[in-house]
Structure 1
Amino acid sequence: MSMKKKLGLGIATAALGISLVGGGTFAYFSDTAETTSTFAAGTLDLSANPTTIIDVNKIKPGDWMTRSFELKNNGSLDIAKVLLETSYEVTDAKGDNAGEDFGKHIRVNFLWNEDKAFLGPWSPDDIVFNTTLADLQSMSPDAVANEVFVPILEERGGLKSGDSDKLYVQFQFVENDQDQNKFQGDSLKLKWTFEGKQGSGQAK
Structure 2
Amino acid sequence: MSLKKKLGLGVASAALGLSLIGGGTYAFFSDSAYATGTFAAGTLDLSVDPTTIIDVENIKPGDTMLRSFDLVNGGSLDIASITLDTDYTVTDAGNDNGEDFGEHIKVNFLMNVDKLDVPIYSTTLAELKSMSPDVIEGNIFSDWLAERGGKLAAGTEDKLYVQYEFVDNDEDQNEFQGDSLELTWTFNAEQGDGVAK
TM-score bracket, normalised by the shorter chain, equals 0.7 to 0.9
Higher helix share: 2
Residue aligning to 2:161 = 168
Change (3 A) 1:12 1:124: farther
Provide the C-alpha distance between the structure 2 equivalents of 1:162 and 1:113, rounded to a whole number of angstroms: 21
Which residues of structure 1 form unaligned runs of 5+?
115-121
Provide the C-alpha distance between the structure 1 equivalents of 2:37 and 2:105, rounded to a whole number of angstroms: 55
- Residues 46 and 71 in structure 1, CA contact (< 8 A), matched pair in contact too: yes
- Residues 113 and 146 in structure 1, CA contact (< 8 A), matched pair in contact too: no
Q: CA deviation at 1:85?
A: 1.6
Residue aligning to 1:68 = 68
Amino acid at match of 1:194: F
Change (3 A) 1:173 1:10: same
- TM-score relative to the length of structure 1: 0.78
Amino acid at match of 1:146: D
- Residues 91 and 187 in structure 1, CA contact (< 8 A), matched pair in contact too: yes
Provide the C-alpha distance between the structure 2 equivalents of 1:101 and 1:158, rounded to a whole number of angstroms: 35
Matches within 5 A, 1:28-43: 28-43=28-43
Q: CA deviation at 1:108?
A: 0.9
Provide the C-alpha distance between the structure 1 equivalents of 2:169 and 2:12, rounded to a whole number of angstroms: 109
Q: Which moved more, 1:39-48 or 1:168-177?
A: 39-48
- Residues 63 and 172 in structure 1, CA contact (< 8 A), matched pair in contact too: yes
Which residues of structure 2 form unaligned runs of 5+?
none
Percent identity reads 60
- Residues 106 and 166 in structure 2, CA contact (< 8 A), matched pair in contact too: yes
Matches within 5 A, 1:72-87: 72-87=72-87
Show CA shifts across 1:22-79 (max 9, x none): 2212321112233333333333232322221111122222222111111122322211
- Residues 79 and 160 in structure 1, CA contact (< 8 A), matched pair in contact too: yes
Provide the C-alpha distance between the structure 1 equivalents of 2:49 and 2:117, rounded to a whole number of angstroms: 21
Match of 1:134 among 101, 126, 132: 126
Over the aligned positions, Cα root-mean-square deviation in angstroms equals 2.8
Q: CA deviation at 1:81?
A: 1.7
Amino acid at match of 2:39: F
Amino acid at match of 1:192: W
Matches within 5 A, 1:113-152: 113=112, 122-137=114-129, 138-140=131-133, 141-142=136-137, 144-146=141-143
Amino acid at match of 1:69: F
Matches within 5 A, 1:1-204: 1=2, 10=10, 13-94=13-94, 96-98=96-98, 100-113=99-112, 122-137=114-129, 138-140=131-133, 141-142=136-137, 144-146=141-143, 154-155=147-148, 157-204=150-197
- TM-score relative to the length of structure 2: 0.80
Change (3 A) 1:168 1:47: same
Show CA shifts across 1:96-152 (max 9, x none): 233x321112111111247xxxxxxx523211111111121233233543279xx8x
Provide the C-alpha distance between the structure 1 equivalents of 2:50 and 2:183, rounded to a whole number of angstroms: 14
SS in 2 for 1:146: helix
Aligned length: 191
